């Protein structure tokens, strides 16, 4: 019976994750999807600038930046998530649309919807992210947020000439995980018209 209950809970959490990521960013024509991602980026940057105004200067003077929407589920010893985003190369004003997926192990239970902003302080860091698109790290947090209560910066990290800000959108999570995140380009959205 315990196995059946866990399987049922897992299916419910997968459905929640699918609902969190099944926005306009993942449906429609490529142009509609790009537009939805651009709107998400603008909303996230507006929130970030209002919470932490100095990030406007950081982003403006950086080689580039990325904004991702992510939903994450942590169930007992496994953590997984996915999302969509866009990387802006400030030198040539080119956008590269990407997806992300993450898998981890650790202790915790919860669902968390958040946005991540990456600021690439040099061209090497930007190119490495676009080419390799992989990160491994640890995370420990307690997030409790539901509804439209505004955004809050949940964390800031500086690693290898990249500053990362995490803005919590909604969710309920108590977790400590070690996870790997893979970012990859979406060729359908990056085709030139």
Query: pLDDT averaged over consecutive 10-residue blocks of the chain (193 residues)?
Result: 50 46 67 96 95 94 95 73 94 95 71 84 93 60 43 59 80 48 87 60
What pLDDT does 18 receive? Answer: 47
Domain assignment of residue 45, given as a range: 2-190
Scan for tokens 């997030």, then name that residue: 143
What pLDDT does 24 receive? Answer: 53
Q: How many domains does the chain have?
A: 1
What pLDDT does 135 receive? Answer: 60
What pLDDT does 150 receive? Answer: 43
Exposure string for 76-105, b = 16+ CB within 10 A, e = fewer: eeebbbbbbbbbbbbeeeebbbbbbebebe
pTM: 0.74
The half-sphere exposure of 185 on its side-chain side, counting CA atoms within 13 A, is: 15
Name every residue whose Cβ is closer than 8 Å to that of residue 44 and which is 6 or more positions away in sequence.
67, 69, 115, 117, 167
What pLDDT does 146 receive? Answer: 40
What pLDDT does 76 receive? Answer: 66
């Amino acid at each position: 019976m315990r196995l059946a209950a866990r399987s049922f809970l897992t299916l419910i959490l997968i459905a929640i994750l699918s609902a969190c990521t099944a926005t306009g960013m993942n449906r429609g024509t490529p142009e509609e999807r790009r537009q939805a991602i651009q709107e998400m980026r603008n909303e996230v940057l507006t929130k970030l600038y209002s919470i932490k105004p100095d990030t406007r200067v950081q982003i403006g003077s950086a080689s580039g930046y990325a904004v991702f929407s992510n939903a994450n589920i942590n169930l007992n010893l496994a953590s997984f998530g996915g999302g969509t985003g866009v990387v802006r190369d400030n030198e040539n004003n080119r956008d590269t649309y990407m997806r992300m997926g993450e898998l981890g192990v650790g202790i915790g239970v919860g669902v968390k919807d958040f946005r991540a902003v990456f600021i690439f302080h040099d061209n090497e860091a930007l190119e490495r992210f676009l080419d390799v698109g992989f990160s491994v790290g640890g995370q420990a947090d307690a997030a409790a947020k539901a509804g439209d209560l505004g955004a809050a910066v949940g964390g800031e990290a500086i690693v290898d000439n990249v500053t990362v800000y995490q803005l919590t959108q909604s969710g309920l999570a108590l977790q400590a995980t070690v996870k790997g995140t893979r970012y990859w380009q979406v060729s359908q959205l990056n085709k030139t018209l």
